[in-house]
Amino acid sequence: MPAINAAIGASLAGARSEILTAQPDGPRPKQVLDAALESVRCQVGNGISMRTIYQHSARFDEATKSYVRAVMGYGVKVRTLTEFFDRLIIIDGSTAFIAANAERTVAAAITEPSVLRFLIDVFERSWDRAAPFPFVPNYAAQAASEVMTPIRATIRQLLAEGHSDKVIARRLGISERSLQAHIAHIKEHLGAKNRTHLGYLLCHTEAFPTY
C-alpha cells in the first residue's frame, strides 16, 4: 500500500488541469481525509479542476461532511450515487489508477488512450446521474428522504437477484448492521413474515416503488 500511495501521490502532484476521483465503500477514516485536505487545497490553488463521486452512505458521516464542506470551499465539486464502479482516479485525462485486485492492495496505472477514453466516459455518465452533496439539512434523519429511496430500491433489486448480505453491503458502502435495518424496513413495508417470504414478494413485484 505505501508504494501504491506514493505512485498515486506523485502523479497527483504532477497534475496540470483536472483530477477525477471515485471513492466507493462509504466513509473514509478521518485521518485519511485530514491528510488529503492540504493536498487538495494546493492542487486547486494551482488552478486544477477537481470532481469527486462518493456513495450516498458518505453523506451521513460527520468526518466526510466536514471534509467535503472544506474542499467545496476550495472549488471542488462533489456528488453521490447509491452504487457505482470501483475506486478510480483520472489525472489530466492521461493517466488513470484502478484497483487490480478485490482487496485493493494492488493498483494498475492506465495510460493507453482508448482505455482512458472508456474510463472517462464511465465517470462522466456516473457524474451525470449523481446528486450534489448537500449540507442542509445537517442531520442524517432529516436528509434521509433524498437518498433512502434509491438506496432501498437498490437493496430490493439486489436481494431479488440473490446477492448475499455481505455483497450488498459492500456494493452500497454500508455496514451489514445498517443493511439489516434497511431490510427490516423493507420487510415491514411489504408485510413479509421472514426472509424467505420477503424473497418471494420481491420476485413477484414488478417494480420497486418509492417509499
CATH class of 2-132: alpha beta
Domain with CATH 1.10.10.10 in the chain: 140-203
pTM over 0.75: no
Where along the chain do the CATH 3.30.870.10 domains lie?
2-132
Q: Which residues on neighbouring strands pair with residue 22, listed in sequence order?
A: 53, 88
Of the candidates 182, 6, 12, 151, the residue with the CA atom closest to the CA atom of residue 90: 12
Could you tell me how far CA 170 lies from the centroid of its own chain?
A: 11
Take residue 174 and report the three cell numbers written for it. 454500508
Average pLDDT, the chain: 82
Distance CA 107, CA 100 (A): 5
Judged against a pLDDT cut of 70, whether residue 53 lies above it is answered with yes
CB burial readout 43-80, b (16+ within 10 A) else e: bbeeebebbbbbbbbbbbbebbbebbeebeeeebebbb
pLDDT of residue 144: 56
How confident is the model at residue 121, as a pLDDT?
A: 94
Rounded mean pLDDT, 88-109: 86
Which class in CATH covers the domain with range 140-203? Answer: mainly alpha
* 177-181, Cβ contacts within 8 angstroms, sequence gap of 24 or more: 178/57, 179/155
Please say if the pLDDT value at position 117 is more than 60.
yes
